[in-house]
Amino acid sequence: MDVDTRLLRYFAAVSEEGSLTGAARRLFVSQPALTKQIRRLEDDLGVRLFVRSRSGMALTEAGREFASRVPALLEGWDEAVRATGRAARVLRLGFLDAGAVGAVPEVIAEFRRARPEWRVELRQFDWSDPSAGLARGEVDAAVVRLPFPGQESFTIRELFAEERGVLLPVRHPLAARATVDFHELGDEPFVAAGSETGAWRGHWLGAEERDGEHPVRIGAVTSRPDEWLGAVAGGCVALAPASAARFHTRPDVVYRPVRGLSPSRVGLARPRRRNGEAVMDELVRAVSRRLSGGASARAEVGVEPRAGEG
Judge contact between 272 and 303, C-beta under 8 A.
yes
Judge contact between 162 and 241, C-beta under 8 A.
yes
Residues in the chain: 310
Query: pTM (2 decimals)?
Result: 0.69
Domains defined along the chain, listed by start:
5-82 (1.10.10.10), 89-160+268-301 (3.40.190.10), 164-262 (3.40.190.10)
pLDDT of res. 291: 65
Q: What are the tens digits of pLDDT across the range 184-204? A: 998 999 999 988 888 899 999
Residue 309 has pLDDT above 60, yes or no: no
pLDDT of res. 60: 94
Q: What are the tens digits of pLDDT across the range 108-119? A: 777 777 778 888
Q: Of 222, 223, 242, 246, nearest to 234 (Cα)?
A: 222
Q: Of 236, 234, 233, nearest to 219 (Cα)?
A: 236
CA distance 204 to 182: 12
Q: Of 306, 282, 274, nearest to 91 (Cα)?
A: 282
CA distance 133 to 62: 30
Q: Of 68, 7, 61, nearest to 39 (Cα)?
A: 7
pLDDT of res. 1: 65
| Complete DSSP assignment for the chain | ----HHHHHHHHHHHHHSSHHHHHHHHT--HHHHHHHHHHHHHHHTS--EEEETTEEEE-HHHHHHHHHHHHHHHHHHHHHHHHHHHHTEEEEEES-HHHHTTHHHHHHHHHHH-TT-EEEEEE--TT-TTTTTTTT--SEEEEEE--TTGGGEEEEEEEEE-EEEEEETTSGGGGSSSEEGGGGTTSEEEE--GGGTHHHHHTTTHHHHTTSSPPEEEEE-SSHHHHHHHHHTT-BEEEETTHHHHS-BTTEEEEEEET-PPEEEEEEEESP-TT-HHHHHHHHHHHHHHHTS--GGGEES-PPPTT--
pLDDT of res. 298: 34
Mean pLDDT computed over every residue of the chain: 84
Using 50, 70 and 90 to split pLDDT, how confident is the model at 39? very high
Judge contact between 232 and 165, C-beta under 8 A.
no
Query: Would you tell me how many other CB atoms lie within 10 Å of the CB of residue 114?
Result: 11
Residue 308 has pLDDT above 50, yes or no: no
